[in-house]
Amino acid sequence: MSIRVRVGTLNQRVRIQQLVQTSDSAGGQTVVWTDYLTLWGKVGALGGALTGSERLAQQRQEAALLREITVRYRTDLNPTTHRVVWNGAFMEVLAVQDVDESRRFTVLTVKELVA
């Protein structure tokens, strides 16, 4: 599958955060998100249309929107230690792919939680 992306459409600032463990004053470990890098990207709906689901979490209904974020090719991103911040929304990274294996673009599949 070949993806067509014009570089000029990578026109939205996307911030990548990294999960980091730090030592606290009591000798324990604290897990925090820190800014890792900021990229130009194209943010769109997964498959061209917003898809999502709803669930009940802690007596509160939450909706999850799935999106695709296309950036220039990178090898340093992964779902277990990174998340995306875009337009003030925090997004969990579900997958990181070089979809057509051309090493031109990386596509992040992300889940945005909406309360």
Position 51 pLDDT exceeds 80:
no
Residue range 85-108: mean pLDDT, rounded: 94
Check residue 12 and give its pLDDT: 96
d(CA 44, CA 80): 22
Q: Looking at residue 26, what DSSP letter applies? A: T
- d(Cα 106, Cα 3) in Å, to the nearest integer? 10
What residue ranges define each of the domains in the chain, with the CATH number in brackets?
7-114 (2.40.10.270)
- Residue with more model confidence, 62 or 38: 38
What pTM, to 2 d.p., does this model score? 0.80
Cα 109 from Cα 115, distance rounded (Å) = 20
Report the DSSP pairing between strands 60-72 and 29-45: antiparallel
Q: Characterize the bridge pairing of strands 82-86 and 51-57.
A: unpaired
pLDDT at position 26 is 86
pLDDT value for 3: 67
**Cα end-to-end distance, the chain, whole Å:** 35
Q: What is the mean pLDDT of residues 102-112?
A: 93
Output 18 or 49, whichever has higher pLDDT: 18
Q: Is 30 exposed, middle or buried (0-12, 13-18, 19+ CB in 10 A)?
A: exposed
When pLDDT is averaged across residues 36-40 and rounded to a whole number, the result is 97
Tell me the mean pLDDT in the region 11-39.
93
Report, as an integer, the average pLDDT of 37-49.
Answer: 84
Report which residue type is found at 23. S
